[in-house]
Structure 1
Amino acid sequence: MKKLVYFVSILMLVVFVTSLFAANTRDGRRKFRKNCYQMCHKKDGITPSSYTAAKWDSYFTNNMEKLKKVHKNNELEKSKLSVEELNNIHQYLMEHSLDSKAPETCEG
């Protein structure tokens, strides 16, 4: 019985700690709409459902080199988004990409 209680306690701790470090997609949605969509991407129609999860992921890997490359005028630095905020945006884009269960545009 003690082993079961110990196991359940450890499992609950892992779930709790993991949720603390998980990206906040709600914040990612707000930041994407305010700093990315409204400021720049509304005119070219880039929304979360514009690309697949794999394509979005490719922009955020390798220290975001691909993302920096397509933002040639230092828009990322000008936006002053923190690493945490960029991670939240990344998670939001992944969860609402073209091939996700809930593709999303920025309309409405």
Structure 2
Amino acid sequence: MMKTTLQLGVLLLATALAAGSYAADGGNPKKGKHLYKKECKVCHSQSNAAGELTPMSKTMAQWDRFFDKDKHKANPAVFEKLSEKDLKDVQQFLYDHAADSAQPQTCG
């Protein structure tokens, strides 16, 4: 019984680590938060026509899909001016603080 419990624990830990690393594969969430505030929050605040957008606006899967497929269709120039590393950093920040993450955040 104890061996089975230990195996299950190891499997759950490996799954959690794999899921967490998928988001941006090495993105730096601290740099991502800075870039988000500098590049995204300018347009995505309560008083702006683009509408408020925070990390909690989407789930982790929705943020992954946004960066994998959507690529900011409303204004693609936003993504064009950021390097791949910058995008990974922003993605990691948003993923780490998404609505269904362990640490949801609004980015105040």
Instruction: Say yes or no: TM over 0.5.
Output: yes
TM-score (norm 1): 0.67
Query: How much does 1:106 deviate?
Result: 2.0
* Residue 34 (structure 2) pairs with residue 30 (structure 1): yes
Q: Give the RMSD, CA atoms, in angstroms.
A: 1.6
* Residue 43 (structure 2) pairs with residue 40 (structure 1): yes
**1:51-62 equivalent positions in 2, closer than 5 A:** 51-61=58-68
Q: Percent same amino acid at aligned positions?
A: 35
Instruction: Name structure 1 gaps, 5 residues minimum.
Output: 1-20
Tell me if structure 1 keeps the 8 A contact 2:79–2:87: no
Q: Distance in 1 between matches of 2:96 and 2:55?
A: 8
Q: Paired residue for 2:19?
A: none
Change (3 A) 1:40 1:22: same
Moved over 3 A (4+): none
SS in 2 for 1:68: coil
Q: Which has the larger radius of gyration?
A: 1
TM-score (norm 2): 0.67
SS in 2 for 1:54: helix
More helix by share: 1
Q: Paired residue for 2:85?
A: 84
